[in-house]
Amino acid sequence: MNSNAFLLTQNPQSGAELHRYPVHSPQEIDVRLQKARRGFIDWRRSPMAHRKELLDQVEKILLREQEVFARLIELEMGKLFSEAMAEVEKCAKCAAYYRDYGPEFLAPLPIPTEARLSYAAFEPLGTVLAIMPWNFPFWQAFRCALPSLLAGNTVLLKHASNVTGCALAIERIFQEAANRSDLFQALLVPGKSVLPLIARSEISAVSLTGSTEVGKEVAAAAGAVLKKCVLELGGSDPYIVLKDANLAQAASICAQSRLLNAGQSCISAKRFIVEKSVHAEFQELFLQALQSAPAAPLAPLARADLRETLHKQVVRSVEQGARLLCGGKLPESLGFHYPTTLLSTVGPGMPAYEEELFGPVAALIEARDAEHAIEIANNSCFGLGAAVFTNDLRLGEEIAQSRLEAGACFVNTLVRSDPRLPFGGIKESGYGRELSSFGVREFTNVKTVLIENGNR
């Protein structure tokens, strides 16, 4: 590794350089990996009360310095300040949730057998390598680290390079909360250096939130050394609008989901599949909702290359027959802004139909009827989230529970993550689950313990 290399952060509002962080040398990486391993040996034996106290302190620090952290997120990633404040608050709530309920999830689970005593115990695995993205720079890291640490693991964070300041802030939070530096550490390394780390003996498991392409590489590297990994990857979430839905309400919720975080969310709505009989009416309501959304003017995209990729997808879709109802033009202003964009008559083969649109671009797709809408929704390599809008709640529940192919299916509301609910995808959106009781057990050894009487 080049000892003179650095990680660059920029202000997405202007494109101006913020800071250059020297990458960690191979020697520094060795030190941090070995420290994490030694920390695990001690931390795994710590009483649950100590682990709960760590999360309690994390919550207090997040709330105490909420505005400071939100300003940092806004500066490095470009997120609206109000959304950044909400992100930090969500991290604090997650800490409180696992502090209050995590010990119950990790308690031995009795399993009746003929033995005197039998149960499943949940033992930590070791050091978790968390490879995290830039779009929710605090939330993604905390939703992995909090349950991992509570379970008795230690964590090494390899964050996206463009939010390196956030990575160091998160490191400080955990180290201050724990009053020690070996439980949570940031690794300042470029993306190309991640795969070799997975093979290191100090690493026991991997958690990645990122693109499908990177997920396949990480899965292959982890599989080659037989290490557990959890992958939360890309998504092209379909929102189905049936003919009996409250169209005005559906249009408002769909616009909210599409524009959240300037459209830079794996679980934001991207494909809007509407029954033919109400398509024209919904299109008009949806266009109005997008153009009058409270988030306007939008925050910028996080990087110049992300904007370039998104614009190429829009241009190619229009060239292949999509209609541009609004937006779709590169602004001349500084920074990495992209306008709210609505494409209609979107069909198979177009980027807006086949690919993930990571930005404020909505693809409107017409379906003959409800069955056709479900077919279109499932005709995707992705399977992260999905939603259906209908006044027939029994039908909506049936579609959500047993007809849609996704890890999270919501009825009459936008898909979102919640510490109380399991989160993750299927197909090329990844595997494994975060959050809830499922998330805290992902990086544990589910150990069978069976005891018989000593004398027979």
Instruction: For residue 340, give the nearest of 377, 303, 310, 385 by alpha carbon.
Output: 310
What would the 3-class secondary structure string for 114-129 be? CCCEEEEEEEECCEEE
Instruction: For residue 368, give the nearest of 259, 247, 240 by alpha carbon.
Output: 240
Calpha distance 313→206 (Å, rounded): 31
Sheet holding 228-232: strands in order across?
A: 184-186, 154-158, 127-131, 205-209, 228-232, 430-431
Q: Which domains does the chain possess?
A: 6-233+425-450 (3.40.605.10), 237-411 (3.40.309.10)
Phi/psi of residue 415, each to 5°? -70, 135
pLDDT value of residue 3: 45
294 pLDDT band, cuts 50/70/90, is low
Q: Return the percentage of the chain with pLDDT > 70, whole number.
A: 98
Q: Return the percentage of the chain with pLDDT > 90, whole number.
A: 96
Q: For residue 190, say if its preceding peptide bond is cis, omega within 30 degrees of 0.
A: no
Average pLDDT, the chain: 96
Q: 3-class DSSP state for residue 431?
A: strand
297 has pLDDT over 80: no
By annotation, the residues acting in catalysis are 232, 266
**Whether pTM exceeds 0.75:** yes
235 and 385 in contact (C-beta within 8 Å)? yes
